[in-house]
Amino acid sequence: MSTKVGDIVEEFHTDNKMSTVNNHHETSRKELEDASRLPALETAYTDILRHLGEDTDREGLLRTPLRAAKAIQFLTKGYHETIDDILNNAIFDEDHDEMVIVKDIDMFSLCEHHMVPFFGKVHIGYIPNKKVVGLSKLARIVEIFSRRLQVQERLTKQIAVGISEALQPKGVAVVIEAAHMCMVMRGVQKMNSRTVTSAMLGVYLEDPKTREEFLYLSRRT
């Protein structure tokens, strides 16, 4: 039955490619699509529970397939979202050309290999090129790309490239530190392992001093 869930998530992928920008119709379209997929997801989760040997009629599980269906839709909602949707004119002309860092942004994602969580902190730095972005929007960009089935490396790069395309800054740096539940709760079972990934674009790639400044500032508590 996991294939069934996989197929549905794959459909989300396809839809995301087709999804267009920003308006209220888009929001209601997403809600309608989510609602139309709920019954199939609910059936898939009922099957999963049965295959696990559970009694799907016992009281505690009666609404579990529906809850799980809604939960997976939330955890993969990023497929429906684009950066244009969330920027919402929050890019301002500003003659600031020093580094801006937003660090310790909480991130929750699902590993695409096992569909279990990986989570941690994202640190983002950029050097403006006459334009700055509303700070909350950086965290919203993290949401768009983390609320999908992911690998940490791709997530890191997508955030960096997304910011770069939206802002055309002089450089973007993204570091993610995360714990992968597929390495903690199962598999190799290493409780304390952390994975650190980075993506450096523009001046962060070209100039070691700029990169070091970002790494120094993003590490300080």
Ligand X SMILES: Nc1nc2c(ncn2[C@@H]2O[C@H](COP(=O)(O)OP(=O)(O)OP(=O)(O)O)[C@@H](O)[C@H]2O)c(=O)[nH]1
Q: How far is the CB of 67 from ligand X (least distance, A)?
A: 25
Q: Is residue 112 annotated as a catalytic residue, yes or no?
A: yes
Q: Is residue 25 annotated as a catalytic residue, yes or no?
A: no
Contacts of 63 (CB under 8 A, 6+ apart): none
Q: What is the H or E stretch that residue 193 is in?
A: none
Q: How far is the CB of 201 from Zn ion (least distance, A)?
A: 27
Among 40, 151, 161, 215, which residue interacts with ligand X (rule: CB under 6 A)? 151
Given the DSSP bridges, would you call strands 171-180 and 195-202 parallel, antiparallel or unpaired?
antiparallel
Is the separation of the CB atoms in 84 and 20 below 8 Å?
Answer: no
Q: Is residue 96 annotated as a catalytic residue, yes or no?
A: no
Dihedral (CA of 96, 97, 102, 107) sign: positive
- Residue 48 is a binding residue for ligand X (CB under 6 A): no
- Residue 113 is a binding residue for ligand X (CB under 6 A): yes
**Looking at 73, 150, 152, 158, which residue is catalytic?**
152
**Looking at 13, 51, 96, 113, which residue is catalytic?**
113
Query: Whose structure tokens read 């699902």?
Result: 110
| Active site residue ranges | 111-114, 152, 180, 182
Residues that bind ligand X (CB under 6 A): 111, 113, 151-153, 180, 182-183, 187-188
